[in-house]
Structure 1
Amino acid sequence: MCRNIHELHNFEPSATDEEVRAAALQYVRKVSGTTKPSQANQEAFDRAVDEIAHATHHLLEALVTKAPPKDRETFAAQRRARAAKRYAAAS
């Protein structure tokens, strides 16, 4: 999975529209192999982002879990620690 797409399910507070759209954008960028589509492809690119964001909202609403909600700050701190370790090892 693309490192920029983060888990969105079962967090407190719930994923925002902006987070869902950002994940959809990263997915489309990864699949299309481009971060900035040409003018000829812009409409298809934007439509794909909209459709994936829409499907993601439906998925998140339909998922059921008995696990307690995860804390966003704890997960963010874990991601930062992994990144610091990974980039320190690359130096």
Structure 2
Amino acid sequence: MCRNIKTLFNFEPPASEDEIRASALQFVRKLSGFNKPSQANQAAFDRAVEEVSDAARRLLTSLHTQAPPRDRMIEAEKAKERSRLRFG
């Protein structure tokens, strides 16, 4: 599951709310071991996703770098090429 969590910092355009939430959801799924929690655990699961999303958003807005922003399309192409070389 964690392989699906993508780097969100230093991209142009910046990470969207949907990307931050999706990353937080994957993180909470991994920690809890639940892909979809039971009704008894749903509130705690949802609260954890919101808290992790908030923490991730604060982290991303507080980070600084001198490196130029990366282009999402170029990085996606690099990932496809790495996958092609790895899996044929």
Range into which the TM-score falls when normalised by the shorter chain: over 0.9
User: Where does residue 37 of structure 1 map in the other structure?
Assistant: 37
User: Where does residue 51 of structure 1 map in the other structure?
Assistant: 51
1:13-24 equivalent positions in 2, closer than 5 A: 13-24=13-24
User: Where does residue 6 of structure 2 map in the other structure?
Assistant: 6
Partners in 2 of 1:35 and 1:81 — Cα distance?
29
Partners in 2 of 1:51 and 1:71 — Cα distance?
28
Per-residue CA deviation, residues 17-71 of structure 1 (Å, 9 max, x unaligned), is 0000000000001111111101100000000000000010000000000000001
State the aligned residue count.
88
User: Where does residue 61 of structure 1 map in the other structure?
Assistant: 61
Query: What amino acid does structure 2 have at the position aligned with 1:15?
Result: A
DSSP-derived class of the 1:77 partner: helix
Give the TM-score taking structure 1 as reference length: 0.90
Partners in 2 of 1:10 and 1:76 — Cα distance?
14
User: Where does residue 78 of structure 1 map in the other structure?
Assistant: 78
RMSD: 1.3
